[in-house]
Structure 1
Amino acid sequence: MTIDFGRVITAMVTPFDKDGNVHYAEAEKLAAYLVANGSDGIVVCGTTGESPTLSWDEEYQLFQVVQKAVAGKAKVIAGTGSNSTSEAIEAT
């Protein structure tokens, strides 16, 4: 079985507010912008560097927000990497 993720897959950065909290409304806008400008897929909490600083709840909520923002227009890939192998396995 082959899954077509598209030709342009973007590792989306996670926007934060001035207090260091995940800015979900900006994440929604950014995801929509990326898809409107050619991304076929978006990687959330991937290799952009901030994923080790997020809680699992933040990662899950971010994934939900992005998935809703691009529903039917692009694939969303959840980054499940971690500095802990057991946590990465559990998240996956």
Structure 2
Amino acid sequence: GELDSVKGIEGETLYRHCRVKDHHHHLLCRRCGTAIELEAPALEDWALAMGKQHGFSELEHVVEVTGYCPDCTLARREEESHGGTAR
């Protein structure tokens, strides 16, 4: 229960250590892989409401919100301003 797995951009399985043992979600940097653990009660309420509305039971869900962390955002901007290609 201490490791979590996620599919990487190229389809590989990546593992990460989660400090929060209860159900939670992540912000994930597409460039460096930094993961920030999030609790999202509004998302939990929405998922339950959608399941109930459509007659589903025993609901489970996984949410990964991806983007670029502040450091990678800055690095990408610097690469782009110098004519390099950001990964």
Regarding TM over 0.5, the answer is no
Normalised by the length of structure 1, the TM-score is 0.25
Larger of the two Rg values belongs to structure: 2
Name whichever structure is richer in strand by fraction.
2
TM-score scaled by length of structure 2: 0.25
Higher relative contact order (CA 8 A, sep 6+): 1
